[in-house]
Amino acid sequence: MTNPVKNMQRAIADYKQMNAKDQKRYLTDMVLNNALYILMAIFVIYTAIKQPNFLTLGSFANLITQVAAYLPLALGIAGCIVLTGTDLSAGRVVGLTAAIAGVFMQKADFANKMFQNLPEITLGWILATMLIVVLIGAMIGLVNGFFVAKFSLHPFIVTLSTQLITYGIILWFFALNGNNGQPISGLSREYKDFVGGAMFRLGGVAVPRYVLYAIILTVVMWFIWNKTTFGKNMFAVGSNAEAAKVSGVNVFMTTVLVHTLAGAMYGYAGFIEGVRAGSVAASTGLNAECDAIAACVIGGVSFVGGTGKISGIILGVFVLRIIFVALTMLGVDSSSLYIIKGAIILCACALDMRKYLVKK
Amino acid sequence: MKKLVAVGLASAMALSLTACGAKEQPAATTAAAAATEAATEAAKEEVKDDAKVVVFWYDESDVFLGFVRDAMNKEFEALGITPDNQFAANNQSTQIDQINTAIAGGADILVVNQVTSGASDTAEDILAAAGDIPVVFFNRPIGVDGSETPVLTENNTVAFIGTDAPEAGHMQGEMIGEYVVANFDAIDINKDGKISYAMMKGDEANVEAIYRTQYGLEDANAVIEAAGKPALVYFDAANTDCYQVDQGGAWSAAAAKEYMDTNFVSYNEANGNMIELVICNNDGMAEGVIASLQEKGYNTGDGHVVPVFGVDATDNAKALIADGAMTGTIKQDDKGMAAAVANTAKAILEGATPAEALASLNDDRFSIDAEINTKMYVAFAPYTGE
């Protein structure tokens, strides 16, 4: 893996040694295992021919901006999937933390400001707000993890419950102080700059700061997954919880921490979501977990458990966003968009499972 | 071993692919960018035949907007334009992504049905992203209590075509008030001298829903009390909100029907506390309420009719009114809205400023705001059958 050229040479040498039948099977396997990427390449080329604007720098800036927005959620939820679980509460946690961040970050002179006695918007307060919403997200994740680990409940049930509870809290929050369910608006300039301020421009399209934050988060998550005991324990528990327990891994703590870390990521996603949409409504974050789960699965984070790579998640998010951008540019109606997205997820999962079936 | 080889080969292939992509992209990009620039320059001379109009809808499943879309597609076709319709599935971030993508794709005009209604900041952000590309907002309000004024007056690339948000609520309230005054004793089933009502709200956060919920009741009570009758009483004293809301924010018939079915368990004629009148934020919810009533034997043509009021005058609602199952609705002019948007977009594409474009329409159905010349209203009208 470290030396692609050498690997390739070796692969070609191996290939030459095979007999005709093996060669054929080898090629079919390779095409099937990479079918998704081959299809994406064809798709990108087709789009570029039909719509030359697709391959401009501005379009690329638009694409990475979207990837950066969807990546944190996928990075968080991936841990839950590695544990053979899932997290349905992610979207609503984003909604709640976006609302709280939004309220903390409203302009001082905004007419419909929900809470009057908040600190002035300074860099310190912005960072404090980020920390607060990340902690709130982590707390909900902790609740998820606790119930999953303590009572051996399936994460589907636990997170479905917290999803509903969180939405209830969101509705209650939006009705506070005579806000009467109206969207939270009037976000301060400082907050918007901190999250969405342009770092530089590509082809006239601004690249916001949260692209940088997404890169930092990715590096941090890569480190946690690959270089820490916690990360290794997570994969051990995901592949075989019993075996992990026997070899001395604290399964309870690992499960709780994975969900807590996921929750923290949702909290961060909420922190940037308000700026992205310009305002926060009670429906913010609705179904956001679906895209995140889909991205993970496409990127090879398997529901079988114990497998997955950070690079795969990034790839999964890219695939989903490329589909979105390309089909939007081609003017394909949204019903087809859903169908194509569904088909790709299905294919990705089927191809993924195929590898395990072959193994057995 | 074979697996290792496969992985190695695959990664090598992927690497080489990305490497090629990265190397070739800038060259292709600059060329393409130059080409587009040249194209836009040339296009400014005359109106393009293939003008790219992109229409962003908040959701695909909204019944009333379905009628608007149908009418708008026809209007645009008549003008020789094929609009590109995009749907945001009730998610503002998705819509922002779609808008940015359309801008990168070279859209000439953006027609936006903003997801988060009443958020002027979001409208501001959309304008900032659009730059020189004109934006026509329609249907869903882009501000509350005048917060949209600066958006519309300080930018010269924007217009808003919608309805005066409180107007439907006022009209519905007035209609209900007059109906109750004329039929008070017939409505009052339990003869306690008071009329108990239920209120179905479409979306907790939507400005139109909020205004309709408020004025639909307030104005009705104003008319009723002026006639010397007691005001409407909410059926459930324990509910201080005095409404039941579609928690999915989808103004759906299903939500309204579920609420009515549940209400019936403890509030019915046998208990002497039956709901005697239902106000709904839209016709979809009214349909749900009527479906529930009909299951219990009401509003079926013969027998007692619980008056149900909606807004939108959808075809289904008109049919229900003709059958006597529904009492009244407020006509929201789908065709008028579509014509206004399509013709404004066309005029702007031909070089008019948004204000000039709106002024050029000259139609009885439309009225331009008294203070803001880039804001136009499509009128509502009461509807109780033809």
Residue ranges covered by each domain of chain B = 2-16+24-48, 51-162+333-381, 166-332
Integer Cα distance of A191 and B75 in angstroms? 42
ipTM (interface pTM) = 0.73
Contacts of A171 in chain B (CB under 8 A): 204, 247
**Interchain pair A279, B25: CB under 8 A:** no
Please indicate, yes or no, if residue A160 is contained in any of the structural domains: yes
Integer Cα distance of A349 and A355 in angstroms? 10
Please indicate, yes or no, if residue A200 is contained in any of the structural domains: yes
**Interchain pair B122, A185: CB under 8 A:** yes
Chain A interface, mutation test: which of B24, B25, B92, most A Cβ atoms within 10 Å? Answer: B92
Copy the structure tokens of residue B282. 């839209």
Please indicate, yes or no, if residue A4 is contained in any of the structural domains: no
Alpha helices in chain A (DSSP H): 4-17, 20-33, 35-50, 57-82, 90-104, 123-151, 155-174, 189-196, 209-227, 229-239, 241-246, 251-277, 288-298, 310-330, 334-359
> Which DSSP letter does residue A119 get?
P
Q: Which of residues 71-130 of B touch A (CB under 8 A)?
A: 84-87, 89-93, 96-98, 100-106, 115-126
Strand, helix or coil at B198? Answer: strand
Sign of CA dihedral B114, B115, B116, B121: negative
Q: What pLDDT is attached to residue A359?
A: 56
Strand, helix or coil at A331? Answer: coil
Beta bridge partners of B138: B161
Integer Cα distance of A145 and A133 in angstroms? 18
Under 8 Å between Cβ of A141 and A261: yes
Strand, helix or coil at B101? Answer: helix
Q: Count other Cβ atoms within 10 Å, centred on residue A10.
A: 15
**Interchain pair A4, B205: CB under 8 A:** no
Nearest CA in chain A to B89: A334
Sign of CA dihedral A99, A100, A103, A106: negative
Copy the structure tokens of residue B121. 């900041």
CA neighbor of B232 nearest in space, from B218, B213, B212: B218
CA neighbor of A123 nearest in space, from A186, A193, A72: A193
**Interchain pair B9, A65: CB under 8 A:** no
> Which DSSP letter does residue A106 get?
B
**Interchain pair A4, B12: CB under 8 A:** yes
Residue among A10, A15, A58 whose CB faces B104 most closely: A58
Contacts of A333 in chain B (CB under 8 A): 85, 87
Residue among B8, B90, B106 whose CB faces A7 most closely: B8
Query: DSSP string covering A171-212, please?
Result: HHHHTGGGTTTPPB--B-HHHHHHHH-EEEEETTEEEEHHHH
CA neighbor of B142 nearest in space, from B163, B116, B167: B116
Please indicate, yes or no, if residue A55 is contained in any of the structural domains: no
Strand, helix or coil at B332? Answer: strand
Contacts of B100 in chain A (CB under 8 A): 62, 65-66, 205
Integer Cα distance of A100 and A95 in angstroms? 9
> What is chain B's length?
386
Spell out where chain B has E strands: 53-57, 84-87, 109-112, 135-139, 158-162, 196-201, 233-234, 244-245, 277-280, 308-309, 329-332, 366-368, 375-378, 380-383
Nearest CA in chain B to A331: B84
Distance from CA of A28 to the nearest CA of B (A): 11
Contacts of B32 in chain A (CB under 8 A): 52-53, 55-56
Distance from CA of B117 to the nearest CA of A (A): 8
**Interchain pair A1, B124: CB under 8 A:** no
Range(s) of the domain holding residue A342: 64-359
Strand, helix or coil at A20? Answer: helix
Beta-sheet pairing, B366-368 with B375-378: antiparallel
Query: pTM to 2 decimals?
Result: 0.74
Please indicate, yes or no, if residue A13 is contained in any of the structural domains: no
Which helix (H) or strand (E) segment is B123 a member of? helix B120-130
Q: What pLDDT is attached to residue A358?
A: 64
Binned average pLDDT, 10 residues per bin, chain B of 386 residues: 44 41 40 44 50 91 86 93 90 93 92 90 92 93 84 92 88 95 92 94 86 95 94 90 85 88 86 93 92 89 89 87 92 90 94 92 87 91 81
Copy the structure tokens of residue A169. 């809290």
Contacts of B120 in chain A (CB under 8 A): 185
What is chain A's pLDDT, residue by residue, as a tens digit (360 residues)? 457 778 878 878 887 787 788 888 888 888 887 778 888 888 889 989 988 888 888 888 889 999 999 999 999 999 999 999 999 999 999 999 999 999 999 988 877 788 888 888 899 999 999 999 999 999 999 999 999 999 999 999 999 999 999 999 998 898 887 776 777 888 898 999 999 888 888 877 889 999 999 999 999 999 999 999 999 999 999 999 999 999 999 999 999 999 999 999 999 999 999 898 888 888 888 888 999 999 999 888 988 888 899 999 999 999 999 988 888 888 777 678 888 888 888 888 888 777 777 655
- C-alpha distances (whole Å) from B311 to each of B212, B251, B261, B330, B332 are 9, 11, 21, 4, 7
Structural domains of chain A, count: 1
Residue among A56, A111, A183 whose CB faces B116 most closely: A183
**Interchain pair B121, A180: CB under 8 A:** no
Beta-sheet pairing, B244-245 with B196-201: parallel
**Interchain pair A329, B104: CB under 8 A:** yes
Q: Which residues contact A336 (CB under 8 A, 6 or more apart)?
A: A327
Contacts of A167 in chain B (CB under 8 A): 247
Integer Cα distance of A78 and A300 in angstroms? 10
Integer Cα distance of B82 and B170 in angstroms? 37
Q: Tokens 């400082």 — which residue?
A: A190
Residue among B9, B54, B145 whose CB faces A11 most closely: B9
Backbone phi, psi, residue B355, to 5°: -65, -45
- C-alpha distances (whole Å) from B288 to each of B62, B95, B236, B253 are 15, 29, 19, 4
**Interchain pair B101, A33: CB under 8 A:** no
**Interchain pair B116, A8: CB under 8 A:** no
Integer Cα distance of A164 and A89 in angstroms? 8
Residue B296, classified by CB atoms within 10 Å of its CB into exposed (0-12), middle (13-18) or buried (19+), is middle
Nearest CA in chain B to A13: B5
Nearest CA in chain B to A188: B121
**Interchain pair A279, B116: CB under 8 A:** yes
Q: What is the pLDDT of residues A140-198, one digit of tens each?
A: 999 999 999 999 999 999 999 999 999 999 988 988 877 767 778 888 989 999 998 88
Residue among A30, A56, A62 whose CB faces B29 most closely: A56
Distance from CA of A149 to the nearest CA of B (A): 31
**Interchain pair A334, B86: CB under 8 A:** yes
Strand, helix or coil at B383? Answer: strand
Distance from CA of A223 to the nearest CA of B (A): 21
Please indicate, yes or no, if residue A24 is contained in any of the structural domains: no
CA neighbor of A92 nearest in space, from A273, A286, A357: A286
Residue A81, classified by CB atoms within 10 Å of its CB into exposed (0-12), middle (13-18) or buried (19+), is buried
Q: What pLDDT is attached to residue B48?
A: 56
Please indicate, yes or no, if residue A8 is contained in any of the structural domains: no
Contacts of A334 in chain B (CB under 8 A): 60, 86-87, 89
- Residue A342 belongs to a domain with what CATH number? 1.10.3470
**Interchain pair B104, A51: CB under 8 A:** no
**Interchain pair A185, B119: CB under 8 A:** yes
Distance from CA of A116 to the nearest CA of B (A): 19
**Interchain pair A287, B91: CB under 8 A:** yes
Integer Cα distance of A52 and B32 in angstroms? 7
Please indicate, yes or no, if residue A2 is contained in any of the structural domains: no
Q: What pLDDT is attached to residue B135?
A: 96
Q: Tokens 């707390």 — which residue?
A: A139
Contacts of B242 in chain A (CB under 8 A): none
Distance from CA of A101 to the nearest CA of B (A): 16
Distance from CA of A187 to the nearest CA of B (A): 8
Q: Count other Cβ atoms within 10 Å, centred on residue B193.
A: 10
Residue B146, classified by CB atoms within 10 Å of its CB into exposed (0-12), middle (13-18) or buried (19+), is exposed
Q: What pLDDT is attached to residue B13?
A: 42
CATH of the domain spanning B51-162+333-381: 3.40.50.2300
Contacts of A66 in chain B (CB under 8 A): 97, 100
Nearest CA in chain A to B248: A283
Chain A contact for B200 (CB, 8 A cutoff): no
Q: Which of residues 276-335 of B touch A (CB under 8 A)?
A: none
CATH of the domain spanning B166-332: 3.40.50.2300
**Interchain pair A282, B204: CB under 8 A:** yes
